[in-house]
Amino acid sequence: MTTEKKLTGGGLLFNVLEQHGVEHVFGYPGGAIMPIYDALYDSNVEHFLCRHEQGAAFSAVGYARASGKVGVCLATSGPGATNLITGLADALADSIPVVAITGQVATAAMGSDAFQEIDIFGLSLACTKHSFQVTDINDLAAVLHQAFAIALEGRQGPVLVDIPKDIQLAEVNGCLDHLVNLKNKVKLPPANVGSAIALLSQTKQPILYVGGGVGMANAIDELRAFAKTTGVPSVSTLKGLGTIDPTDENYLGMLGMHGTKAANLAVQECDLLIAVGARFDDRVTGKLNEFAPNAKVIHFDIDTAEINKRRVADAAILGDLKVNLPALAIPLSIIHWQEKCQMMKTDFSWDYNHPGESIFAPAVLKEISDNMPENTCVTTDVGQHQMWAAQHMLFDDPSNFLTSGGMGTMGFGVPAAVGAQVSRPTDCIIAVSGDGSFMMNVQELSTIKRFQLPVKIVLIDNAKLGMVRQWQDLFFNGRLSETDLADNPDFVMLANAFDIKAKSITKKSQVTAAIEEMLEHDGPYLLQIKIDAQDNVWPLVPPNTANDKMMEST
Amino acid sequence: MKNYQLTIKADDKQVVLERILQVTRYRGFLISGINAKVNTGTNVGTIELMVRSERSIELLVDQINKLIDIKEVKVDNSASQQSIA
Ligand SMILES: Cc1ncc(C[n+]2csc(CCOP(=O)(O)OP(=O)(O)O)c2C)c(N)n1
Ligand SMILES: [Mg+2]
| DSSP structure string for A82-122 | HHHHHHHHHHHHTT--EEEEEEE--GGGTTS--TT---HHH
Closest C-alpha among A39, A33, A35 to residue A162 = A33
Going across the sheet that includes A234-236, the strands are A251-254, A234-236, A206-210, A272-276, A296-301, A315-318
Does the beta carbon of A340 lie under 8 angstroms from any beta carbon of chain B?
no
Catalytic site residue from A129, A165, A456, A464: A165
Q: Please check whether residue A393 is in contact with residue A378, taking contact to mean a CB–CB distance below 8 angstroms.
A: yes
Ligand nearest to the CA of A382: 1
Residues contacting A473, CB < 8 A, separation 6+: A480, A536, A554
Question: Is A251 contained in some domain?
Answer: yes
Does the beta carbon of B71 lie under 8 angstroms from any beta carbon of chain A?
yes
Pocket test for ligand 1, best of A90, A359, A360, A382 (most atoms within 8 A of CB): A382
pTM: 0.97
| Same-domain pairing of A409 and A328 | no
> Across the interface, do A304 and B14 touch by the CB < 8 Å criterion?
no
| Same-domain pairing of A17 and A112 | yes
| Same-domain pairing of A147 and A249 | no
Question: Is A83 contained in some domain?
Answer: yes
Reported confidence tier of residue A173, pLDDT bands at 50, 70, 90: confident
Does the beta carbon of A182 lie under 8 angstroms from any beta carbon of chain B?
yes
Question: What part of B 10-49 touches A (C-beta under 8 Å)?
Answer: 11, 14-15, 18-19, 22, 26
Q: Please check whether residue B50 is in contact with residue B32, taking contact to mean a CB–CB distance below 8 angstroms.
A: yes
| Same-domain pairing of A44 and A140 | yes
Predicted local distance difference test score (pLDDT) of residue B14: 85
pLDDT mean over A457-465: 98
Whether the CA torsion A29, A31, A35, A38 is positive or negative: it is positive
CB-defined contacts A:B, below 8 A: 39
pLDDT mean over A410-416: 99
pLDDT mean over A193-198: 96
> Across the interface, do A132 and B14 touch by the CB < 8 Å criterion?
yes
| Distance from the alpha carbon of residue A322 to the mean position of ligand 2, in angstroms | 40
Q: CATH number, domain at A243?
A: 3.40.50.1220
| Same-domain pairing of A159 and A15 | yes
Q: Which of A125, A162, A307, A311 to mutate to test the interface with B (most CBs of B within 10 A)?
A: A125
| Same-domain pairing of A258 and A390 | no
User: pLDDT tens for residues A21-55?
Assistant: 999 999 999 999 999 999 999 999 999 999 999 99
Q: CATH number, domain at A64?
A: 3.40.50.970
Partners of residue A122 in chain B, C-beta under 8 Å: 15, 18
- Axis crossing angle, helix B16-26 with helix B57-66, rounded to the nearest 10: 150
> Across the interface, do B26 and A126 touch by the CB < 8 Å criterion?
yes
Q: Which of B66, B71, B72, B73 to mutate to test the interface with A (most CBs of A within 10 A)?
A: B66
Residues contacting A546, CB < 8 A, separation 6+: A268, A286, A287, A290, A291, A293
| Distance from the alpha carbon of residue A465 to the mean position of ligand 1, in angstroms | 6
Q: Please check whether residue B51 is in contact with residue A288, taking contact to mean a CB–CB distance below 8 angstroms.
A: no
| Same-domain pairing of A227 and A299 | yes
Q: A509: phi > 0 → left, psi -120 to 50 → alpha, else beta; which? A: alpha
| Same-domain pairing of A223 and A145 | no
Atom 13 of ligand 1: nearest residue by CA position: A465
Predicted local distance difference test score (pLDDT) of residue A533: 98
Q: Where are the domains positioned within chain B?
A: 2-80
ipTM here: 0.94
| Same-domain pairing of A126 and A34 | yes
User: pLDDT tens for residues A487-525?
Assistant: 999 999 999 999 999 999 999 999 999 999 999 999 999
Q: State how far the Cα of A275 lies from the Cα of A317, in Å rounded to an integer.
A: 10
The yes-or-no verdict on residue B5 having pLDDT over 60 is: yes
Q: Is A467 one of the annotated active-site residues of the chain?
A: yes
Atom 23 of ligand 1: nearest residue by CA position: A465
Closest C-alpha among B14, B9, B3 to residue A131 = B14
> Across the interface, do A126 and B11 touch by the CB < 8 Å criterion?
no
| Same-domain pairing of A339 and A376 | no
Q: Is A4 one of the annotated active-site residues of the chain?
A: no
Predicted local distance difference test score (pLDDT) of residue B85: 40
Atom 16 of ligand 1: nearest residue by CA position: A436
Q: State how far the Cα of A527 lies from the Cα of A374, in Å rounded to an integer.
A: 20
Q: Is A345 one of the annotated active-site residues of the chain?
A: no
Give bridge partners of residue A162 from the DSSP assignment.
A102, A133
pLDDT mean over A248-264: 98
Q: Which domain holds residue A302?
A: 193-347
Does the beta carbon of A343 lie under 8 angstroms from any beta carbon of chain B?
no
Nearest chain A alpha carbon to B62: A305
Question: Is A178 contained in some domain?
Answer: no
Predicted local distance difference test score (pLDDT) of residue A149: 97
Q: Is A53 one of the annotated active-site residues of the chain?
A: yes
Reported confidence tier of residue B78, pLDDT bands at 50, 70, 90: confident
Which atom belonging to ligand 1 lies closest to the Cα atom of A435?
A: 16
Q: Which long-range contacts (CB under 8 A, 24 or more apart) does A514-519 make?
A: A515/A364, A515/A367, A515/A368, A515/A371, A516/A371, A518/A456, A518/A458, A519/A368, A519/A371, A519/A372, A519/A373, A519/A428, A519/A456
Helix or strand (DSSP H, E) at A465: none
CATH of B2-80, one of 3.30.70.260, 3.30.70.60, 3.40.50.720, 3.40.1010.10: 3.30.70.260
Which residues have C-beta atoms less than 6 Å from ligand 1?
A: A 381-385, 408-411, 434-437, 460, 462, 464-468
- Axis crossing angle, helix A53-67 with helix A413-423, rounded to the nearest 10: 50
Catalytic site residue from A372, A467, A518, A550: A467
Q: Is A165 one of the annotated active-site residues of the chain?
A: yes
The yes-or-no verdict on residue A526 having pLDDT over 90 is: yes
| Same-domain pairing of A298 and A397 | no
The yes-or-no verdict on residue A176 having pLDDT over 70 is: no
Question: Is A1 contained in some domain?
Answer: no
Question: Is A356 contained in some domain?
Answer: no
Strands A501-505 and B2-11, bridge-based pairing: unpaired
Q: Please check whether residue A70 is in contact with residue A101, taking contact to mean a CB–CB distance below 8 angstroms.
A: no
Nearest chain A alpha carbon to B9: A184
Percentage of chain A modeled with pLDDT above 70: 97
Q: Please check whether residue B16 is in contact with residue B71, taking contact to mean a CB–CB distance below 8 angstroms.
A: no
Nearest chain A alpha carbon to B63: A305
Domain C-terminal end among A347, A370, A389: A347
pLDDT mean over A137-153: 97
Question: Is A480 contained in some domain?
Answer: yes
> Across the interface, do A305 and B14 touch by the CB < 8 Å criterion?
no
Closest C-alpha among A262, A272, A316 to residue A293 = A272
Closest C-alpha among A393, A479, A494 to residue A449 = A494
Q: Please check whether residue A419 is in contact with residue A62, taking contact to mean a CB–CB distance below 8 angstroms.
A: yes
Predicted local distance difference test score (pLDDT) of residue A189: 86
| Distance from the alpha carbon of residue A533 to the mean position of ligand 1, in angstroms | 14
Question: Is A554 contained in some domain?
Answer: no
Q: Please check whether residue A206 is in contact with residue A234, taking contact to mean a CB–CB distance below 8 angstroms.
A: no
Question: Is A545 contained in some domain?
Answer: no
Does the beta carbon of A122 lie under 8 angstroms from any beta carbon of chain B?
yes
Q: Name the least confident of A176-180, A389-393, A496-500.
A: A176-180
Predicted local distance difference test score (pLDDT) of residue A411: 98
How many domains are contained in chain A?
Answer: 3
The CA-to-CA distance between both ends of chain B, in Å, stands at 8
| Same-domain pairing of A280 and A335 | yes
pLDDT mean over A225-252: 98
